[in-house]
């Protein structure tokens, strides 16, 4: 690059000419860049990869939640057989109540884990309903801190981004035709 005032050769990163002291303009910097250097293309996200990653994260999270649901159900059923001393006037009511609550919580967790797995499998197959189900299940996953929260936020980014919506819409229409 050369100074526009005195013609002295100036280094590419210099702000001022070392000979005359004049400020090197931005136009001189642009003119000095080689014309063969292409402009950097806008980086496109590979939404196919993101949808597949999200689908497998949902399936994995659903399997883990299903294992926890089974453990809760098992705890609820075994609770009745534990030798827990209670006052004679209470009877079996406290044990039955806790067992009932654990059974309800376990069944709810199993249903949610099945929904999360179904959303993941549907995303892998690019089904139209899977995007909506994945969004609904991601809302529930937000409350499963920290893993579910991270998966839920990632799901929102993938499924609500413009590129994600366009990709999924194009893939679901070609799969269902």
pLDDT, one tens digit per residue, over 58-111 is: 999 999 999 999 999 999 889 878 887 777 777 778 888 989 999 999 999 999
Mean pLDDT check: name the lowest of 51-60, 87-96, 111-120.
87-96
In what helix (H) or strand (E) does residue 6 lie, and over which residues does it extend? Answer: none
Distance CA 174, CA 165 (A): 14
The answer to whether the pTM exceeds 0.85 is no
Is 64 part of any domain?
Answer: yes
Q: What is the mean pLDDT of residues 122-143?
A: 96
- Domain-embedded: residue 42: no
The predicted structure's pLDDT at residue 116:
98
Mean residue pLDDT across the chain: 86
Tell whether the model's pLDDT for residue 18 goes beyond 90. Answer: no
Range of the structural domain that residue 85 is part of = 47-176
For residue 23, being part of any structural domain is answered with: yes
* 6-31 average pLDDT score: 74
In this structure, what token pair is assigned to residue 90?
């209470």
Interatomic CA distance for residues 151 and 57, integer angstroms: 7
Query: Do 21 and 59 share a domain, yes or no?
Result: no
The answer to the question of residue 39 being in a domain is no
Domain count, the chain: 2
Same domain, 85 and 51: yes
- Residue 16 is assigned to a structural domain of this protein: yes
Q: Tell me: do 23 and 53 sit in the same domain.
A: no
List phi, psi (to 5°) of 43.
-75, 120
Confirm whether 161 is domain-assigned: yes
pLDDT at residue 74 in the model: 96
87 and 23 within one domain: no
CA 12 to chain centre: 42
**b or e along 20-29 (b: 16 or more beta carbons within 10 Å of the residue's beta carbon)?**
eeeebeeebe
Give the residue carrying structure tokens 């690059």.
1
């Amino acid at each position: 690059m050369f100074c526009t005032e005195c013609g002295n050769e100036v280094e590419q990163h210099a702000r001022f000419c070392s000979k005359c002291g004049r400020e090197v303009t931005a136009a001189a910097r642009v003119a000095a860049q080689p014309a063969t250097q292409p402009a950097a293309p806008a980086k496109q996200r590979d939404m196919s990869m993101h949808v597949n990653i999200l689908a497998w994260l949902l399936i994995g999270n659903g399997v883990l939640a299903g294992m926890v649901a089974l453990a809760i159900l098992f705890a609820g059923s075994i609770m009745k057989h534990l030798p827990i001393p209670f006052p004679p006037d209470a009877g079996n009511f406290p044990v039955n109540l806790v067992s009932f609550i654990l059974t309800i919580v376990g069944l709810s967790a199993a249903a949610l884990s099945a929904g999360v797995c179904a959303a993941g499998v549907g995303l892998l197959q690019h089904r139209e309903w899977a995007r909506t189900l994945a969004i609904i299940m991601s809302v529930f996953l937000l409350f499963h801190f920290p893993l579910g929260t991270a998966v839920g936020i990632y799901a929102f980014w993938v499924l609500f981004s413009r590129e994600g919506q366009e990709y999924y819409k194009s893939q679901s229409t070609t799969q269902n035709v």
